[in-house]
Amino acid sequence: MLLIKINKTLIKIIKMKKIFHILIILTTYLTILTNMSFGQCNVTKDDTDPDNITFSNQAERLFINEDLENGFKTVYANGHLIVNKIDKTKVKFIFNVSYIKSMYQPNIVLRKITFNFANGQILSYIAEQNDNPKINGTIAERCFFRINLTDMKTIQSYPISSFAIIDTRKGESLTTKPYSGIFQEQIQCLVSKQNDL
């Protein structure tokens, strides 16, 4: 479905003969194609740290705007379960979210995220760390959030109705409505890998 929309937009822009826009859309199109993947139980294990083993989900897209002719903005997220090698009951859950955009879209530094659950419950977190990596020549903001294990179990147990990223300094925000079980699946995959230890 997304590829059909991108192709229709690309055809419209080519007809308009705006070279600059064509280059932006082609770059966006290639970026999306190379990053398209499904993270269901696509978990990597890193045990190079002498103290911890880290399990990480592949980042999954939560949002992409439909009006690509005006530039693009997209949100990706993934989780990391960090398990102590000696005491496997010592576990941390880190959630990272990336906001990637073209220059025509507003910049949102995701200082805060909010999970809105279908049952009405809300969980919010403030970023502990952020950076802005260059991803295929686009502008990106990536923030890391530490989520306590009780809240991780809540996220694992209930479907979400929406997920918001918020720049608390500028008052900018973006609310997304991804697949309701996306975070449940991500956490279940991480926990399954942890249980295999």
Mean pLDDT of all residues belonging to the chain: 84
Q: How confident is the model at residue 97 (pLDDT cuts 50, 70, 90)?
A: very high
How many other CB atoms sit within 10 Å of the CB of residue 81?
25
Residue 88 above 80 pLDDT? yes
Which conformational region is residue 108 in: left (phi greater than 0), alpha (psi within -120 to 50 degrees), or beta?
beta
Q: What is the mean pLDDT of residues 50-75?
A: 94
Q: How confident is the model at residue 70 (pLDDT cuts 50, 70, 90)?
A: confident
The full DSSP string for 145-178 is EEE-HHHHHHHHHS-EEEEEEEETTTTEEEEE--
pLDDT value at residue 78: 96
Distance of CA 143 to the CA centre of its chain: 10
Task: Please tell me which residue, 14 or 74, carries the higher pLDDT value.
Answer: 74
Q: How confident is the model at residue 5 (pLDDT cuts 50, 70, 90)?
A: low
As a whole number of angstroms, the distance between CA 112 and CA 70 comes to 26
Domains and CATH numbers, the chain: 40-195 (2.60.40)
As a whole number of angstroms, the distance between CA 75 and CA 33 comes to 15
Distance of CA 85 to the CA centre of its chain: 27
What single-letter DSSP state applies at residue 68? Answer: G
Q: At what angle do helices 2-16 and 19-35 cross, to 10 degrees?
A: 160
The sign of the torsion formed by the CA atoms of 82, 55, 100, 176 equals negative
Residue 23 above 50 pLDDT? no
How many other CB atoms sit within 10 Å of the CB of residue 26?
13
pTM, two decimals, is 0.77
Residue type, 55: F
